[in-house]
């Protein structure tokens, strides 16, 4: 039984607000009233960081929702399909440069299309394996790039670790635009995405041009992913976990699932970012470590459960 969407959204918005406040209060210079804290710290550092966490989390969750619908499988996300690694590699190749988001997009789309072209007619396991292989290959190339271009070593580390510690208002503004446009692009196709769950033939009967829809939606998912990678680096498993949990709470209808997942992604990444900056204070942990620590076991659990359902 799913929650009534008004109840679910109310609870979610409350959680988002609480997580946001928690994020504003957490930092090495202490919560409000703590030692050394000033209003500037909140405004210049914590607030843009909190906003960026909400936006990157929302973006990755949205990409995950789309990909899971297209491939009719809850095991895919932009990290598993190699989109994130492709984006990071291409952005790192030109870094530092204002063209980073553009190159991230080229890299993300190439990686995803390669995986899609190789494996889209195969079983889902093949798709996952190809995606992981391509992702691993691209990460290896990124490491190779680090070795070869040692002078640019340190500026490329950012892409390997990712993180929100360098958040600025400009980055947040950039991602707000991306996220709003993406949601507006996806929302009109909510019904079509729902129909994909019935299977290709049935949705074809309902008058949906499945191939076109798949291609267009995948393009949108790649765009959101690569732009969020270009501002925050590789952050894995958000797009995997969040939509899956949200489907449990509000059901599979995309009209509700899309906005609900976007907000939930925001809550999740806010909390992950608080952990990243507070666990080893004043050292910053890469946020990708936190999300992978949660996400990888979750992935294994999903695989295990799918198997048990089948047998």
Partner 1 sequence: MKLSVCLISLFLVLPVVGDGHGEVVMDDYGREISLQSIPQRIVSIAPSVTEIIFAIGAGDKLVGVDSESDFPAEANDIKKVGTYISPSLEMIVVLKPDLLVVSDLTPLQVVNAIEERGIKVFVVAPERIEEIAESMRKLGVILGVKDKAEAAARDFEERAAAVEKKAALAREKPKVYLEFFPYWTFGPGSFGSDLIEKAGGLNIGKKLKSPYAEVSNEFVISENPDIIIITQGKHASTTISSVKERPGWSSINAVRNSRLYYIDDDIISRPGPRMADALEELYSILH
* Residue 265 · residue 242 · CB < 8 Å: yes
Cα(132)–Cα(137) distance, integer angstroms: 8
131 vs 162 by CB, closer to partner 1: 162
Is residue 88 classed as helix, strand or coil in its secondary structure? helix
Region binding partner 1 by CB under 8 A among candidate stretches 38-46, 70-78, 222-230, 262-270? 38-46
Burial class (CB in 10 A: 0-12, 13-18, 19+), 232: buried
Nearest to 105 by CA among 11, 218, 259: 218
Out of 6, 32, 36, 310, the residue judged to bind partner 1 by CB under 8 A: 36
Residues written for the chain: 311
Q: Which of 3, 22, 25, 41 is in the footprint of partner 1 by CB under 8 A?
A: 41
Cis geometry, peptide bond prior to residue 74 (ω within 30 degrees of 0): no
Give dist(CA 292, CA 288) in Å, integer: 6
Per CB under 8 A, the list member of 3, 9, 15, 29 interacting with partner 1 is 29
Sites for partner 1 among residues 203-262 (CB under 8 A)? none
Residue 36: CB minimum distance to partner 1, A: 4
Inter-CA distances, 39 with 32, 186, 273, Å: 9, 38, 20
- The minimum distance between CB 167 and partner 1, in angstroms, equals 8
Residue 8 CB partners (closer than 8 Å, separation 6+): 2, 249, 250, 256, 260
Other Cβ atoms closer than 10 A to 33? 7
Q: Which is nearer to partner 1, 82 or 233 (CB)?
A: 233
Q: In the set 4, 21, 31, 96, which binds partner 1 (CB under 8 A)?
A: 96
- Hey, what are 61's tokens? 């969750």
Site for partner 1 in 269-288 (CB under 8 A): 277, 281-284, 286
Nearer to partner 1, 135 or 163 (CB): 163
Count Cα atoms within 13 angstroms, Cβ side, for 11: 9
Element (H, E) at 306: helix 287-310
Cβ proximity to partner 1: between 126 and 170 the closer is: 170
* Binds partner 1 (CB under 8 A): choice among 19, 20, 23, 27: 27
Task: Identify the residue among 3, 9, 44, 124 touching partner 1 (CB under 8 A).
Answer: 44
Told to check if 45 binds partner 1 by CB under 8 A, we report yes
* Shortest Å, Cβ 89 to partner 1: 16
Among 32, 38, 307, 310, binds partner 1 (CB under 8 A): 38
Residues 131-190 contacting partner 1, CB under 8 A: 147, 150-151, 153-158, 161, 163, 165-166, 168
Binding site for partner 1 (CB under 8 A): 27-29, 36-38, 40-41, 44-46, 95-96, 147, 150-151, 153-158, 161, 163, 165-166, 168, 277, 281-284, 286
């Amino acid at each position: 039984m799913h929650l009534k969407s008004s109840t679910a959204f109310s609870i979610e918005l409350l959680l988002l607000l609480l997580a946001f406040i928690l994020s504003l209060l957490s930092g090495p210079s202490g919560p409000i009233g703590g030692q050394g804290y000033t209003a500037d710290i909140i405004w210049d550092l914590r607030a843009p960081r909190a906003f960026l966490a909400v936006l990157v989390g929302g973006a990755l969750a949205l990409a995950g929702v789309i990909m899971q619908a297209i491939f009719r499988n809850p095991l895919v996300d932009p990290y598993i399909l190699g989109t994130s690694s492709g984006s990071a590699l291409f952005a790192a190749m030109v870094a530092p440069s204002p063209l980073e988001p553009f190159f991230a997009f080229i890299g993300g789309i190439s990686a995803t299309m390669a995986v899609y072209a190789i494996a889209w007619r195969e079983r889902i396991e093949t798709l996952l394996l190809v995606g992981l292989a391509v992702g691993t290959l691209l990460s290896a190339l990124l490491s190779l790039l680090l070795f070869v271009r040692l002078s640019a070593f340190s500026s490329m580390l950012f892409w390997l670790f990712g993180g929100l510690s360098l958040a600025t208002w400009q980055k947040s503004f950039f991602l707000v635009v991306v996220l709003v446009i993406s949601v507006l692009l996806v929302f009109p196709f909510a019904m079509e995405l729902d129909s994909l769950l019935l299977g290709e033939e049935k949705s074809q009967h309902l008058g949906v041009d499945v191939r076109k829809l798949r291609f267009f939606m995948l393009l949108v998912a790649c765009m959101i992913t690569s732009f969020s990678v270009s501002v925050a680096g590789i952050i894995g498993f958000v797009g995997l976990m969040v939509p899956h949990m949200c489907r449990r709470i509000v059901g599979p209808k995309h009209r509700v699932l899309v906005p609900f997942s976007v907000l939930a992604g925001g809550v999740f990444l806010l909390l992950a970012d608080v952990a990243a900056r507070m666990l080893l204070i004043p050292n910053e942990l890469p946020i990708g470590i936190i999300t992978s620590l949660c996400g990888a076991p979750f992935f294994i659990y999903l695989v295990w459960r799918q198997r048990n359902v089948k047998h």
